[in-house]
Structure 1
Amino acid sequence: MTTDSDLFQDALGELGDVRPLAQERKVALKKGDASSKVNQRARRAAATEEPASELNPLAGEFVQPVDPWDPLEFKRDGVQNGVYRNLRLGKYQVDARLDLHRHTVEMARRAVFEFVRDCLEADVRCALITHGKGEGRKHPALLKSCVNAWLPQLPEVLAFHSAQKQHGGLGATYVLLRKSERKRQDNLERHQRRR
């Protein structure tokens, strides 16, 4: 009896030189499409056995536990209070999303690192990471606690805050990222022309 797998292998053999497609490492920015593509890429990266990057600075040892009902909040020096308030109130457009549900801690660590790096390459300024509250678990709020510990370790992260109810509430976090070098250069040129 011939299976679908056998038919597929026969078809590949007839084609000759078959290679997997190269994958881009950028966040897709098409409206309505961005979050699903980022999630798929992050899950693929997290599910692979190879390390996402040997340069991943996120510490994976001890993480200070956070209560499932505690809001997450962080702001680097130099971030204006008005900018942080707008982030906290969910006033910025979320251009990329990462869902960490069903991730192990190590998968989540890799996924968060890759996600922030991809967002920076794609000039995403505001992203949303959904980690869940972790209520009623053996280790409550484990991924939430990890996200709270990891994000300040990344210099690209300027600020973060627990999301508004419509974006996941205490089970999700808005992340404000610094501008990429390309965006920074564009702004510099735009402001110099005005003078």
Structure 2
Amino acid sequence: MSSDSELFREALGQLGDVKPLVRERKVALRKDSDSGLNKRARREAAIEEIEAQLNPLTGEGVDPVDPWDPLEFKRDGVQNGVYRNLRLGKYRVDARLDLHRHTVEMARRAVLEFVRDCMEADVRCALITHGKGEGRKQPAVLKSCVNAWLPHLREVLAFHSAQKQHGGLGATYVLLRKSERRRQDNLERHQRRR
């Protein structure tokens, strides 16, 4: 008894000159050797992309902030009630970053990675502890840098110095954009209610 594949070959042979169709690819596919970007390499690439947003920003040329000044920033479109709740510490803090004992460059990189990781994990409210930097030769260096860097990250909607129980003037609440996945979930949830 002949197998199906043998019968198929015989039928093709009886038809004469049969050639397979040539299809053009619509999307260029990467070979396995090209997709050797592991998780770490992808992470580095994403960090470089975010760093490009902050390219001119280093610790130099940053306007100094007094150790006792609160940090505050709100993008247009953020509702006043949302910002007030952030300022009052009413949102659950889902991620924390401590910048104590970081150099400016280490802190910069840590903030970039932190924001990126928060976006991947659908974190909406995070806390960055930078310290007040009082009593130092150059007071509030990291606090001043965080104040200068965060508005340049489009993922950051708003930030404000934390309440006392979360570090007070030595820490900052950060409100982040919803990820695309979370935005779609909200859209679907609200459409079902109608």
Q: Which TM-score tier does this pair reach, normalised by the shorter chain?
A: 0.7 to 0.9
For residues 125-171 of structure 1, what are the alpha-carbon distances to aligned partners after superposition, in whole Å with 9 as ceiling and x for unaligned? 00000000000111100000000000000011000000000000000
Residue in structure 2 matched with residue 12 of structure 1 by the alignment: none
Query: Structure 1's 188 and 24: CA in aligned 2 closer, same or farther, altered over 3 A?
Result: farther
| Structure 2 residues not aligned, in runs of 5+ | 1-37
SS at 1:144 equivalent? helix
Q: TM-score, normalised by structure 1?
A: 0.73
Please show how residues 112-151 of structure 1 align to structure 2 within 5 Å.
112-151=111-150
Residue in structure 1 matched with residue 99 of structure 2 by the alignment: 100
SS at 1:54 equivalent? helix
1: CA distance between counterparts of 2:162 and 2:75? 18
Number of aligned positions between the proteins? 151
Larger Rg: 2
Q: TM-score, normalised by structure 2?
A: 0.74
2: CA distance between counterparts of 1:52 and 1:65? 29
8 A Cα contact 1:52 1:110, kept in partner: no
For residues 34-75 of structure 1, what are the alpha-carbon distances to aligned partners after superposition, in whole Å with 9 as ceiling and x for unaligned? xxxxxxxxxxx9xxxx89832212211410000000000000
Query: Structure 1's 75 and 136: CA in aligned 2 closer, same or farther, altered over 3 A?
Result: same
SS at 2:48 equivalent? coil
SS at 1:102 equivalent? coil
Which range moved further: 54-63 or 137-146? 54-63
Query: Structure 1's 106 and 67: CA in aligned 2 closer, same or farther, altered over 3 A?
Result: same
Query: Structure 1's 181 and 139: CA in aligned 2 closer, same or farther, altered over 3 A?
Result: same
| Structure 1 residues not aligned, in runs of 5+ | 1-21, 26-44
SS at 1:189 equivalent? helix
Moved >2 Å (runs of 4+): 22-25, 50-55
One of 37, 48, 57 as aligned partner of 1:54: 48
SS at 2:70 equivalent? coil
% same residue: 85
2: CA distance between counterparts of 1:167 and 1:54? 30
Please show how residues 161-176 of structure 1 align to structure 2 within 5 Å.
161-176=160-175
Match for 2:154: what amino acid?
P
For residues 76-98 of structure 1, what are the alpha-carbon distances to aligned partners after superposition, in whole Å with 9 as ceiling and x for unaligned? 00000000000000000000000
